[in-house]
A = this chain, B = another copy of it.
Amino acid sequence: MKARVTRDRRGRKTAVEPCAEPCPIERGMRILGGKWTGSILWHLKDEPVRFNDLSRLIGGASKKMITERLRHLEAHELIERQVLDTRPVGVAYRLTPHGRTALKCLDELRRWSERLEVDEAS
């Protein structure tokens, strides 16, 4: 990002290379930043999780939200939907290799966030 502010020949201020719309941080946030989105991704980090289990684990998010976020993550190829050969039929969601690359920033965020509470407590 070389964005900066300069003056043109008439002495008027203008931005050089402004963040045209979404700079990388903004774009990233729009993928991972929706409500519950990061949380869902994080719950899949160790193993595939079933729809209803996700729903139970993430107290506060409605099934509708879970569905919506899963579709969103699927669209971005961060997770995969797999139908299980069980009766009754089950569905599990798991990270794709690509989705796994997002865990690093989520983990960084988790650490940052957890340190907040410790600091506040003291």
| A92 neighbours in B (Cβ, 8 Å) | none
Chain A, interface SS category: helix
Tell me, in angstroms, the Cα distance from A4 to B87 when the chains sit together.
22
Q: What is the number of residues of chain A that contact chain B, defined by CB distance less than 8 Å?
A: 52
Copies in the complex: 2
Tell me, in angstroms, the Cα distance from A35 to B116 when the chains sit together.
21
Tell me, in angstroms, the Cα distance from A42 to B1 when the chains sit together.
10
B59 and A15 contact, CB distance less than 8 A: yes
A113 and B18 contact, CB distance less than 8 A: no
Tell me, in angstroms, the Cα distance from A30 to B29 when the chains sit together.
11
Known: A19-B59, A59-B15, A105-B109. A26 touches B38 (CB 8 A): yes
B112 and A57 contact, CB distance less than 8 A: no
Q: How far is the CB of A93 from chain B (nearest CB, A)?
A: 14
Known: A29-B109, A108-B104, A112-B101. A59 touches B21 (CB 8 A): yes
